[in-house]
Amino acid sequence: MTGEHEDAVTTDAAPVRDAGLGSASAQGAEEGAARLTARELSLAYGDARVVHSVDVEIPPGAVTAVVGPNGCGKSTLLRALARLHPAQTGRVLLDGRDIHSRPTREVARELGLLPQSPIAPGGITVRDLVGRGRIPHLTALRPWGPEDSRAVQAALEATGLTGLAERPVDSLSGGQRQRAWIALALAQETELLLLDEPTTFLDIAHQYEVLDLLHHLSRGGRTVVVVLHDLGQAARYADHLILMSAGLILARGAASDVLTAQRVSAAFGLEVTVVPDPVTGTPLIVPLGTPAGRPSIARARAAGRSERKP
């Protein structure tokens, strides 16, 4: 979890509507029934509202990336979707039920969260850390059993950590540690996996190692929601993007629809151009270096309206 609150935005302006879905993969993901949704959700720290009446539907069996400038509400939104931040107004729904009406252990069996920069207990081995993912399934009447050992082993194999299972977590590389935490979430055997900036502080090789794993997991049927800073990585790996600015959802859908020059400029306050990635053909953002003004709700709303004009 990040140690900083998102920058406060105190207006009650209405959210900007979404972009259309332009790719077959995004359209296919949207056609399924979304298990995790939010309706007219506003979030605050004290009296300072940081997310303003947003609607969210997470496409099942796909990677959704939440992107936007620092302080726009990304991490706060993710925490709310994971039941860790209360709604000021509106609701988060898991399988159609208010997530706060469901018992904590029940939610933990359905949804796993990897916060920013988690810290493992000193000296704990990879296997023992991953085993903590089974806690939601254990009770006095249902102690650790063979199915839990199988779940841990399967998580280790899925993340390529079998050979490191007895190593202390603090002896691993950055990418290996992130895989260990992802393995813990996999051992929970949840279909929904939420991750807050899992590539932060990793070198580029380890960043792509983690993103490749998340992509593989989604292709196996899991629903992944990830907060990312790198727009190019989000465009490459995500089936569905949510672009936030000043506490609003500026656009959502396929990368080609969301990451337009006008929307990115409005969100980040920086003039940009967008070119095709030479490898994948997905949008690649090129800053032009001319400040476009501080991101604001007014700019975000104006960009959303102009993008929707025929």
- For the stretch 7-55, pLDDT in tens is 333 333 334 444 433 333 343 344 568 899 999 999 999 989 999 999 9
Of 307 and 91, the structure prediction assigns the larger pLDDT to: 91
Q: DSSP assignment of 228-274, as one string?
A: -S-HHHHHHH-SEEEEEETTEEEEEESHHHH--HHHHHHHHTEEEEE
Query: What pLDDT is attached to residue 231?
Result: 97
Is 307 a residue whose pLDDT tops 60? no
**Cα–Cα distance measured from residue 188 to residue 149, given in angstroms and rounded to the nearest whole number:** 12
Percent of the chain with pLDDT over 70: 83
Of 132 and 20, the structure prediction assigns the larger pLDDT to: 132
Query: What pLDDT is attached to residue 2?
Result: 38
Structural tokens at position 8:
């406060």
**Cα–Cα distance measured from residue 84 to residue 48, given in angstroms and rounded to the nearest whole number:** 18
Packing angle, helices 174-187 and 204-219, rounded to 10: 20
**Please, what is the Cα angle at 53 between 86 and 17, to 5 degrees?**
140
Of 304 and 271, the structure prediction assigns the larger pLDDT to: 271
How many CB atoms are closer than 10 A to CB 62?
Answer: 21
Query: What pLDDT is attached to residue 16?
Result: 44
Under the phi-then-psi rule, with left for phi > 0, alpha for psi from -120 to 50, and beta for the rest, what region is 139? beta
The pTM of the whole model exceeds 0.85:
no
**Cα–Cα distance measured from residue 18 to residue 48, given in angstroms and rounded to the nearest whole number:** 25
Is 102 a residue whose pLDDT tops 50? yes
**Cα–Cα distance measured from residue 232 to residue 1, given in angstroms and rounded to the nearest whole number:** 23
- Tell me the Cα Rg of the chain: 19
For the chain, give the mean pLDDT: 85
Comparing CA positions, the residue from 114, 80, 108 lying closest to residue 226 is 114
Number of H helices, E strands in the chain: 11, 12
Of 104 and 307, the structure prediction assigns the larger pLDDT to: 104
**Cα–Cα distance measured from residue 51 to residue 243, given in angstroms and rounded to the nearest whole number:** 13
133 contacts 162 by C-beta, under 8 angstroms: no
**For 36-287, CATH number?**
3.40.50.300
Give the residue-averaged pLDDT of 112-140: 91
Q: What pLDDT, in 10s, does the model give residues 177-235?
A: 989 998 998 899 899 999 999 888 788 988 898 899 899 999 989 999 999 999 999 99
**Cα–Cα distance measured from residue 125 to residue 166, given in angstroms and rounded to the nearest whole number:** 5
Length of the chain: 310
Comparing CA positions, the residue from 147, 219, 155, 222 lying closest to residue 182 is 155
Q: What pLDDT, in 10s, does the model give residues 224-277?
A: 999 999 999 999 999 999 999 999 999 999 999 999 999 999 999 999 999 999
297 contacts 266 by C-beta, under 8 angstroms: no
SS3 content of the chain, % helix, strand, coil (to 5): 35, 25, 35
| 102, HSE (Cβ side, Cα atoms, 13 Å) | 20
Query: What pLDDT is attached to residue 298?
Result: 57
Is 294 a residue whose pLDDT tops 70? no
155 contacts 187 by C-beta, under 8 angstroms: yes
**Cα–Cα distance measured from residue 201 to residue 207, given in angstroms and rounded to the nearest whole number:** 9
Going along 48-88, which residue ranges are E strands? 48-57, 63-67
65 beta partners:
226, 241
DSSP letter, residue 82 = T
DSSP H/E element including 53:
strand 48-57
